[in-house]
Amino acid sequence: MRILWLDPFHGGSHAAVAAGYAARAAHQVTLLTLPTAGGWRWRMRGGAVTLARMARERGERPELIVASDMLDLATFRALTADLLAGVPAAVYFHENQLTYPLPAGRQRDAGLAWTNYTSALCADAVIFNSEFHRRDFLAALRALLGRYHDYHELESVAAIAARSHVLPPGIDLAALADAAPPAGERAMVQPLTILWNSRWEYDKQPGAFFAALEALEASGADFRLIVAGEHIDPRMPAFVAARERWARHIVHWGYAPSRAAYAALLQRADVVVSTAIQEFFGIAVVEALFCGCAPVLPRRLNYPELLPPELHAECLYDDAAGLVALLSAHTRGRQRPRATWRAIAAPYDWTHLAPRYDQFFAAISTR
C-alpha cells in the first residue's frame, strides 16, 4: 500500500514518528515535510497550501494520506480534490491547540484550535497518541463550538469520537539499548542521581522541579543531577542561574550531543522526574524508563496511564510536598530493580508498534 505522510512541522516527536514508521513500515511510505524554521503557527496556517502544491507536483495518487495535527487537512483536501478525491485520510494528533496550556498573559488562538477541529472533521480516522489525549480533545470540542453565536454543530463531536482511535508513538528504544550497556539489576549507587530530560519551557515547569530540589537539599539529602532536556536558549537567565546554583550536584548539564550520549546519561540516572502541566504522551519518560530510571511523576495528564495501577502510589505525586516525599524516599534507597521500569517501556519500541501501524493503516485504507 502507498501512504503519503504529510508533516508541515517536521521536528520533535512529529518527525520521529513519521520517519521512524517510514523506515520500518511494511507499506511504501512517502514523507512530504516542511522544516520547523518557519514556526509552528505559520506551518498550521500556510503549510497546507505548500504541501498541496508539492503533492500536485508529484502527481501520484496514494492509497492513504496520513497528516500530523499541524496540517490544515481540510484546506489540503480542498486544494488537491481533483487529484486525491476519494483517497482516505487520517490525522495523527501528537498535541492539540484546544487544550495545550498557555504561558501567563497569552490568549488562545481560536483559529488554530478551529483548524484542529476541521482537520478531525474531514478525516476518515482521527488518531491520538494516548487515551488521555483522546478524552481531553473530545471534551474540549464542545466548549470550542459552544463559544459562537449559533449553528454550534455539536453533533459533529460524536461523529469525530466515532472515528477516533489511539495509537501510541513508536520510539526507537532499540537505539538506546545499542548505545549503552544493559540496565541490568545493579543496586543504586549513592548518592541518588536525579534526571530531568524535559524541555526547558513553561509547560514543563522547571521552576517546580528546582523548588523540589531546594526542599530536598534542605532536608539534608545528598544527590547528583543530570539536566539533559532541550533548551531553546541556553543563555536564558533562569537557565544560567540554575546551573550556577546546582553546580556542586551536576553530573551533566545541557542537551546531549548524540543519541549515544543521551543513552549513557539515562543509564547513569536512578530517577526521572517530571513536573509537566502538558504531556499528551511522555516519550522522554518512556526513554528513561527503558534505561532503568524509576519514575517520579505528577498524578495527571497521561502519566497514570503509562504505569500499572499498582505502582501509582510509589511513582505519582499530587502536589509539591508529595514530589519531595517521593524523592526523599529514593534518597533513602527505596527502589525496585531497574528491569521493572524497562519492562514497562519496552512495548513502545518500534519492533512492537510498527506492525500495529501497518495493520491499522491497511484497515483504514479499505473502508
Q: Which of 181-195, 197-211, 226-240 is most confident?
A: 197-211
| pLDDT of 234 above 90 | no
| pLDDT of 10 above 70 | yes
* DSSP codes of every residue in 32-85: EE--GGG-HHHHHHHHHHHHHHHHHHH----SEEEEETTS-HHHHHHHTHHHHT
pLDDT for the residue 237: 87
- Domain ranges within the chain, ordered by starting residue: 2-170+350-365, 173-348
Consecutive H or E run containing 252: strand 250-253
pLDDT for the residue 180: 60
Which pTM was predicted? 0.95
Residues whose CB falls within 8 Å of the CB of residue 200, separated by 6 or more in sequence, listed in order: 206, 229, 230, 231, 232, 236, 239
| pLDDT of 347 above 90 | yes
Residues whose CB falls within 8 Å of the CB of residue 148, separated by 6 or more in sequence, listed in order: none
pLDDT > 70 in the chain, percent = 96
- Architecture, CATH, for domain 173-348: 3-Layer(aba) Sandwich (3.40)
Over range 172-200, report the average pLDDT. 79
- Grouping H, G, I as helix, E, B as strand and the rest as coil, residue 331 is helix
Over range 240-261, report the average pLDDT. 93
pLDDT > 90 in the chain, percent = 88
User: Taking the domain 2-170+350-365, which CATH number applies?
Assistant: 3.40.50.2000
| pLDDT of 344 above 90 | yes
pLDDT tens digits, residue range 127-184? 999 999 999 999 999 999 998 889 999 999 999 999 999 999 999 999 998 766 665 5
Lowest mean per-residue pLDDT among 60-64, 193-197, 228-232: 228-232
| pLDDT of 85 above 60 | yes
Quickly tell me which residue has 530510571 as its cell: 293
How many angstroms separate the Cα of 43 from the Cα of each of 38, 40, 47, 100?
7, 5, 5, 17
Over range 111-128, report the average pLDDT. 98
* Better-scored residue on pLDDT, 335 or 250: 250
Given this chain, do its domains 2-170+350-365 and 173-348 carry the same CATH topology?
Answer: yes
